[in-house]
């Protein structure tokens, strides 16, 4: 090298530490390993997906306190990056199976209640119209109007359960969060949402829901032709399975980067298993699946409290988090200066 130049960096792939499967609860860890073996994919893929599955189950039910005065919600944004033919869809389907089955069974059991709610709403609307006409003609007292107005305000329609959405616009996503009592999950085997956010279909795309859904900032939407929506403490979980070229264009998008959207995501890029995959792999056993399914169902059946319950750290976890934060902080201005926006949210994401 020339005088004053540092030694050139070798053009070799940086080897990441193995995905810490053992950090997951045993039923989940066992299932993640079994899915990875069955599909002949890296454990990183199933392991990253399961973080989003847990977020979907836990958001708005619990939050976690890092230290007094600092509390994080439990929703996460995750992108799993892999080229075509890496079996992303297969792994996603296996990890989501208990969520899909739970939603299907719930909606089957509550189909009559949903239909009854629709009927009750139509009856209420007709009664409203009848009372309005009577008051306008002077044939009814204002008290009748107040009573029917109160009935309408108190009425809450029973909706089918929708634990996550896939192909959706940002406007519709706001409506789903509002209808779903302030929480939603966006889970997709593709990264198509970024095309929507980039304005590929319309030039006036508002990405605020993606920003505020992560941090829990109040969402207020007032537009002509639409009902006003106000969502306090929204919680949005996002899981996307995307190809490298999609993520590359996302990271180079100055709007996404400048407004902090890309900094909110955890990125997983598993080392490809293509070329080393066995045809005769070991299938997931029923026992392993049932252990995972039972845990997910238990979390889904937890009722939503008025306010999320707060999880606190053990003294050991508290020391670990403090040491990590102190180690990372000085690196934000040198080693990680080029990605300080992402690294600056890393301690909070680790806590989540």
Residues 284-313 have pLDDT tens digits of: 999 999 999 999 999 999 999 999 999 999
Residue 248's pLDDT band, with cuts at 50, 70 and 90, is confident
Task: Determine contact, residues 352/72, Cβ cutoff 8 Å.
Answer: yes
Name the strands in the sheet holding 77-81, side by side, starting at the edge strand that comes first in the sequence: 183-188, 235-242, 77-81, 265-268
Q: Which residues touch 282 (CB under 8 Å, ≥6 apart)?
A: 34, 37, 38
**Secondary structure (3-state) at 272:** coil
Give CA–CA dist 131/140, Å, rounded. 7
Instruction: Encode pLDDT of 218-232 as tens digits.
Output: 888 766 555 667 888
> Is the Cα torsion angle 205, 209, 215, 220 positive or negative in sign?
positive
H or E stretch covering 118: helix 111-136
What local confidence, expressed as pLDDT, does residue 127 receive? 79
Q: Which two tokens stand for residue 199?
A: 């304005």
Residue 58's pLDDT band, with cuts at 50, 70 and 90, is very high
User: For 315-341, b where at least 16 C-beta lie within 10 A, e where not — what string?
Assistant: eeeeeebeeebeebeeeeeeebeeeeb
Give CA–CA dist 198/154, Å, rounded. 39
What local confidence, expressed as pLDDT, does residue 170 receive? 84
What local confidence, expressed as pLDDT, does residue 204 receive? 55
What local confidence, expressed as pLDDT, does residue 120 receive? 81
Give CA–CA dist 250/338, Å, rounded. 16
What local confidence, expressed as pLDDT, does residue 66 receive? 96
Read off the pLDDT of each residue in 223-251 and give the average, rounded to a whole number.
82
Please state the pTM of the whole predicted model: 0.85
Lowest mean pLDDT among 6-15, 77-86, 314-323: 6-15
What local confidence, expressed as pLDDT, does residue 114 receive? 77
Using the predicted structure, report yes or no on whether residue 1 has a pLDDT greater than 70. no
Read off the pLDDT of each residue in 112-135 and give the average, rounded to a whole number.
80
Instruction: Encode pLDDT of 132-181 as tens digits.
Output: 777 777 777 777 777 777 777 777 777 888 999 998 888 889 989 988 98
Percent of the chain with pLDDT over 70: 94
Cα distance between the two ends of the chain = 45
Percent of the chain with pLDDT over 90: 57
Answer with the residue of higher pLDDT: 117 or 97.
Answer: 97
Using the predicted structure, report yes or no on whether residue 197 has a pLDDT greater than 80. no
Q: Torsions phi, psi of 299, nearest 5?
A: -70, -40
What local confidence, expressed as pLDDT, does residue 325 receive? 97
Task: Identify the bridge partners of residue 236 per DSSP, sorted by sequence position.
Answer: 184
CA–CA–CA angle 118, 124, 127 (5° rounding) = 145
Q: Where are the beta strands (DSSP E) in the chain?
A: 62-67, 70-73, 77-81, 183-188, 219-221, 229-231, 235-242, 265-268, 309-312
Q: Which two tokens stand for residue 124?
A: 């209420």
Residue 201's pLDDT band, with cuts at 50, 70 and 90, is very low
Using the predicted structure, report yes or no on whether residue 200 has a pLDDT greater than 70. no
Please identify which residue in the block is written with the tokens 């997983």. Answer: 268
Task: Determine contact, residues 164/188, Cβ cutoff 8 Å.
Answer: no
Q: Torsions phi, psi of 81, nearest 5?
A: -105, 120
Using the predicted structure, report yes or no on whether residue 59 has a pLDDT greater than 90. yes
What local confidence, expressed as pLDDT, does residue 74 receive? 96
Using the predicted structure, report yes or no on whether residue 258 has a pLDDT greater than 50. yes
Q: Mean pLDDT score of the chain, rounded to an integer?
A: 88
């Amino acid at each position: 090298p020339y005088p004053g130049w540092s030694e050139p960096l070798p053009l070799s792939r940086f080897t990441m530490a193995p995905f810490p499967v053992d950090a997951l609860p045993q039923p989940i860890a066992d299932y993640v390993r079994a899915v990875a073996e069955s599909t002949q994919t890296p454990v990183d893929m199933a392991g990253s997906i399961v973080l989003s599955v847990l977020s979907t189950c836990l958001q708005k039910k619990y939050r976690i306190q890092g230290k007094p005065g600092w509390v994080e919600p439990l929703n996460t944004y995750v992108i799993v990056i892999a080229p075509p033919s890496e079996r992303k869809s297969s792994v996603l389907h296996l990890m989501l199976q208990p969520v899909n089955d739970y939603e299907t069974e719930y909606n089957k059991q509550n189909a009559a209640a949903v239909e009854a709610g629709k009927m009750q709403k139509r009856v209420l609307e007709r009664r409203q119209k009848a009372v309005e006409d009577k008051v306008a003609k002077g044939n009814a007292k204002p008290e009748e109007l107040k009573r029917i107005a109160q009935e309408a305000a108190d009425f809450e329609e029973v909706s089918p359960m929708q634990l996550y959405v896939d192909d959706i616009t940002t406007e519709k996503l706001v409506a789903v969060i509002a209808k779903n009592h302030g929480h939603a999950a966006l889970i997709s085997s593709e990264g198509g949402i970024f095309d929507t956010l980039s304005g590929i279909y319309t030039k006036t795309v508002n990405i605020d829901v993606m920003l505020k859904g992560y941090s829990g900032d109040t969402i207020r939407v007032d537009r002509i032709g639409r009902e006003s929506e106000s969502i306090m403490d929204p919680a949005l979980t996002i899981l996307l399975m995307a190809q490298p070229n999609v993520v590359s264009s996302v990271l180079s998008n100055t709007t996404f980067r400048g407004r902090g959207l890309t900094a909110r995501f955890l990125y997983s890029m598993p080392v490809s298993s293509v070329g080393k995959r066995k045809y005769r792999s070991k299938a997931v056993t029923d026992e392993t699946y049932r252990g995972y399914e039972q845990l997910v169902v238990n979390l889904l059946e937890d009722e939503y409290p008025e306010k999320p319950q707060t999880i606190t750290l053990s003294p050991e976890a508290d020391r670990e988090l403090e040491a990590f934060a102190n180690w990372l902080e000085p690196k934000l201005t040198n080693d990680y200066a080029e990605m300080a926006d992402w690294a600056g949210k890393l301690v909070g994401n680790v806590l989540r």
